[in-house]
Amino acid sequence: MAEDQVPFADHEGTVPSGDVEKNERRRGILLRNAKLVFAGYVLTQLATLAGRLLGLSTVRHHEILWVTGFTLTSSALFYAITRFRKSISTGYVNLFHFGQYVIWLVAYAGWVLTLREIRVMALFCAMMPLTFMLSDTKAAKSLTIALSAFVIQIVASWYAIAGLGQPGVFKLEVYYAFCFAPSALFLCYLSGLFSQQRMEVKAAKRSAEESRDALVTEVAKTKRANAELGEAMKTIEAMARVDVLTGLFNRRHLMDALDMAAKRHARAGQAFSIVIVDIDHFKHVNDTYGHLQGDVVLREVALVLQRTLRACDLCARYGGEEFMLLLEQTRAKEAQVCAERLRQLVEQHRFTGFDPKFSVTISLGIAEFADAQSIDQCIARADAALYRAKRAGRDRVEVADFVNSRPASQPAEAAAAQPRS
């Protein structure tokens, strides 16, 4: 009775894995229909027994028992099979409804023949399955039931009166059958109307689910796009803070780090030193070996500097062949020891693609940050120290005097006016 409400199974007639909920819903619908059919058969046979007890019909008790046993046993059998069957496929649903229909045809025909004087009561009871199916089936199925009851009623009445000699007026019973037809057709119309409404509700539900799925998909796409955008932004930010050639931080990130170090110094008195590193005669390396080999020298000097420093320190490319080190929690004398170690390591380093005898040297200028000066002034002091190292013959370390009052811009300007290669 509820085939249109039952979800489809696969082509093999089994429920796909993951469709347990749909399978149980399908089973529940069929079990409910089986109970309704069973109740309908019980009511009709109780009505027959009442007619016999009231003396309205000469139906025999064994006839009532035969019809009752046949209908109730068949219904109970369908209920049991449906209850304990592992999977409820589309094929089984079709078999369930067809089997119930065949049982009803046989039972209705036999019942009409046994009612005798109250055969017309069968027409009223035929309304029962039509009413049961209002909420569960389509108009075509209801029409099949109504037409079957109409035809069986007329044919069985004729056979009972003409063939079996039972009492009754055939024309009157045909008249009753035609009186039954309008009510049955109206119930068929209601069944079709309800079926159309169910289809519209299902279509709306399906549309809502598709919209929900589309929304979920779009939300997932948006999240993925946002994640990709976030990664892209991180990459862009990293590229904006990293020197592409050497892999060190660039000047922008360096200045931000120096500003933070100055704030920590002002807040907690944490000392730090700046070291400017310059590769000696780097222009000669480019002119002699080419700019590609010059890039190799820059990268490997940067690697030596980076791997020698502590995790809390920072090494950045300051510009051209110059690097700058930020040594946290380091006084000038401690920075001088570190700078000397770096100078020796670079001098001892053997560069990829060069003759083993090839080496470069570096000059280093150191300045410890002073309270009365800015970051720019501290850089200028380190720059002036580097200039002294260059002027003193290169390949050496020079430390700026720790003076808070003397501005350091003049030495920087003088150093800028002289070539350092």
Q: What is the pLDDT of residues 57-103, one digit of tens each?
A: 888 888 889 888 988 999 899 899 989 988 888 888 888 888 888 88
Q: Which of 159, 191, 216 is the last residue of a domain?
A: 216
Q: Tell me, yes or no, whether 143 and 255 share the same domain.
A: no
Q: What percentage of residues in the chain have a pLDDT greater than 70?
A: 90
Q: Which of 171, 195, 216 is the last residue of a domain?
A: 216
Q: Tell me, yes or no, whether 155 and 291 share the same domain.
A: no
Q: What is the pLDDT of residues 122-136, one digit of tens each?
A: 887 787 777 766 666
Q: Tell me, yes or no, whether 255 and 189 share the same domain.
A: no
Residue 246 lies in a domain: no
- Categorize the per-residue pLDDT at 401 as very low, low, confident or very high, splitting at 50, 70 and 90: confident
Mean pLDDT over the full length of the chain: 85
Residue 244 lies in a domain: no
User: In sequence order, what are the residues at sequence separation of 6 or more whose Cβ sits closer than 8 angstroms to the Cβ of residue 391?
Assistant: 418
Q: Tell me, yes or no, whether 71 and 126 share the same domain.
A: yes
Residue 239 lies in a domain: no
Residue 276 lies in a domain: yes
Q: Tell me, yes or no, whether 73 and 152 share the same domain.
A: yes
What domain range is 9 assigned to?
3-216
Number of domains into which the chain is organized: 2
Q: Tell me, yes or no, whether 140 and 285 share the same domain.
A: no
In 3-state terms, what secondary structure has residue 334? helix
Query: Is the distance from CB of 349 to CB of 312 less than 8 angstroms?
Result: no
User: What is the reported pLDDT for 280?
Assistant: 95
Q: Is the pLDDT of residue 214 over 50?
A: yes
**What is the DSSP track for 94-142?**
HHHHHHHHHHHHHHHHHHHHHHGGGTTHHHHHHHHHHHHGGGTS-HHHH
Residue 44 lies in a domain: yes
Q: Tell me, yes or no, whether 168 and 289 share the same domain.
A: no
Q: Tell me, yes or no, whether 279 and 393 share the same domain.
A: yes
Q: Tell me, yes or no, whether 211 and 255 share the same domain.
A: no
Q: Which residue has the tokens 């009623």?
A: 153
Q: Tell me, yes or no, whether 52 and 197 share the same domain.
A: yes
CA-CA distance, 219 to 87, in Å (whole number)? 36
Q: Tell me, yes or no, whether 153 and 270 share the same domain.
A: no
pTM across the whole model? 0.48
The type of residue at 46 is L
Least confident of 57-61, 389-393, 406-410: 406-410
Q: What is the pLDDT of residues 244-292, one digit of tens each?
A: 899 999 999 999 999 999 999 999 889 999 999 999 999 999 999 999 9
